[in-house]
Chains A and B, each alone.
Chain A
Amino acid sequence: MSGLANIQRDFCQFAKGHGHKDFLCHIKTASLPKEALLNVYHNNIFSVHRRSLENDYPLVFSIMGPVSARSMARAYTEASFPCTGSLSDWGGGFSAFIQRYEPAAVWPYLADIAQYEWAKHLAYGIGEGPLLTVEDMKKMMTLAYHELIFRFQKSCQLKAFSYPLESILATYQKDQGVPPPTGQEASYALILKHQGIIKVYWLSPALFAFLNRLKEGQDIEVAFAAAQVLEPQFDAQAAFSFLFSNPILCR
């Protein structure tokens, strides 16, 4: 192995938390301890990654508090250094990491919140297609059910959460010091970007199932049947009204 590659691989081992013994050998003796000099880079690296996570997951950081969140961000960074030169593409595995991270267990819904925040982050970086017009809708009305295919905005994400996230988020947003609901009751959201702004719609389980089928490209009858399994009185008219009156579909 070349001298340069050797140095860089030893640094990689150090950055990933496997000790600095090998790398210290490469540093020329100075008036300050080598460890202290190396730590400047160590701190830089972790603060850059922590700041990136903090930007993408502001609520996770706010809920945990700065000290705990920094420890978790450091652990995540060590375990998952980015493999991309663009930090905005990194951090999608944070939610799965939180689920395994023992100190975060006191906030059982935290992984859901991370998933929610990452969905918003992803939507932010996706382009907006031209919205469906009234004329388009009129044309669609002339088609048979099985001919109708709905094209969702690319930023549109349908997310299912294990916890009642809408109420949990409301509790934190009101900041009244009241603990959020702890019951494990699933919640569903549609997240998209419209005119550069992220929009979140909370859905019933049946509406989620209905939209999910349509988004997958299945026809209305299949989508309707999926919704009816969960809600026998599912109101298809209200569902279409929701779909057409919000910036969800594109041409």
Chain B
Amino acid sequence: MVMTGISSRQVSTGIGLRHDHYSHFLNEKQPVAWLEVHAENFLNFETPAYHMLERIRQNYPISLHAVNLSLGSSDGIDEDHLKQIKSLIDRINPFLVSDHLSWGRIDGYYFNDLLPVPYTQETFNILATTISQVQDILKRPLLIENPSSYFQYQLSEMEEADFLAQLVKRTGSSILLDINNVYVSCQNHGWDQEAYLKAIPKSKVKEIHLAGHTRQGSLRIDDHASRVCGDVWNLYQKVISLWGPIPTLIEWDTNVPELEVLLGEAAKAQSILDGIHIPSNLARKEIYVRAG
């Protein structure tokens, strides 16, 4: 049996599946409800890494997180790349597919980074067209992740959270809310966290990311290289207490620690999710629909 969704009981924390931990997931069942993988690491179906993923997904629902669709590129979508992502989706049938409110490609060159876009009407139109095109081809809604950023553009004329809220409304997509990114960007730009979260339509948030960041002087760098910090845990707790349980992922991409450390972070997030009182079976059903 292949796992294609997560049950209501498992709303639910996952962790990012990283190469160092493949054998742990192959050898025994780990106490984590689901896994997320970076789509671009599995586009070649002949690699041993892809074969590992095929085996691991027999026991864990997979969320597919793309990093290179470059949704905010003025060039539009790279159709070849999108076709590759679609082939992967067709093979592993993930329960969620996401990418970022960012760009990383121009004139055929890929920068392999999540670069910020200016929040203008022109960018909005480009993103709306591209996201709709991607969803039409993938035949499923996309989750759009809020970015972390280190500068703002002169041209920007909208707040990021409003921009994202309107974008998902226009395109029928959903939001992957990265709480660490909210925190990092708010700290870096002096934005109001409360106002940011207030602008996000909670019914559109289908997944949450939590990760660590570092400080360089007054700047916060989103490097996914450490544990989630106390301020981000507090913000997460606040979001969950206001909005209810949402599938939550622990991301750790640099200096990846022992699996136990990630599982510990996931257990912490789970305890926050479990601390929420779910009033009735109806509410559980609603969660099931949201997660699956």
Q: Which residues of A approach B to under 8 Å, CB–CB?
A: 2-5, 7-9, 11-12, 15-16, 25-28, 30-32, 34, 36-38, 40-41, 44-45, 48-49, 52, 81-88, 124-128, 196
Inter-subunit contact B154/A27 (CB<8 Å)? yes
B110: which of A3, A7, A85 is its contact (CB, 8 Å)?
A85
* B154: nearest chain-A partner, CB-CB: A28
* B113 adjacent to chain A (CB < 8 Å): yes
* A44: nearest chain-B partner, CB-CB: B113
* B292 adjacent to chain A (CB < 8 Å): no
* B241 adjacent to chain A (CB < 8 Å): no
B45 partner residues in chain A, CB cutoff 8 A: 127
Inter-subunit contact B113/A41 (CB<8 Å)? yes
Give the complex CA separation of A40 and B152 in angstroms: 13
Inter-subunit contact A37/B122 (CB<8 Å)? no
Given contacts A4-B126, A31-B218, contact A124 B113 (CB under 8 A): no
Inter-subunit contact B221/A40 (CB<8 Å)? yes
The residue in B51, B75, B154, B217 that gathers the most chain A C-beta atoms within 10 A of its C-beta is B154
* B106: nearest chain-A partner, CB-CB: A8
Given contacts A28-B151, A125-B47, A126-B46, contact A82 B110 (CB under 8 A): yes
Can you list 20 A-B pairs with a CB-CB distance of less than 8 A? A3-B120, A4-B120, A4-B126, A7-B153, A9-B106, A11-B111, A12-B109, A15-B111, A30-B189, A32-B219, A41-B150, A49-B112, A81-B111, A83-B108, A83-B110, A85-B68, A85-B84, A85-B105, A85-B110, A196-B48
Given contacts A9-B107, A12-B109, A124-B47, contact A4 B118 (CB under 8 A): yes
* B180 adjacent to chain A (CB < 8 Å): no
CB distance from B116 to the nearest CB of A (A): 9
* B78 adjacent to chain A (CB < 8 Å): yes
CB under 8 Å from chain A, chain B span 10-58: 40-41, 43-48, 51
B152: which of A28, A45, A87, A127 is its contact (CB, 8 Å)?
A28
Give the complex CA separation of A233 and B75 in angstroms: 61
A25 partner residues in chain B, CB cutoff 8 A: 154
CB distance from A83 to the nearest CB of B (A): 5
Known: A37-B219, A83-B109; 12 extra A-B contacts, CB below 8 A, are A4-B123, A8-B106, A9-B106, A11-B115, A15-B111, A27-B153, A28-B154, A37-B151, A83-B108, A85-B70, A85-B78, A86-B44
B46 partner residues in chain A, CB cutoff 8 A: 125-128
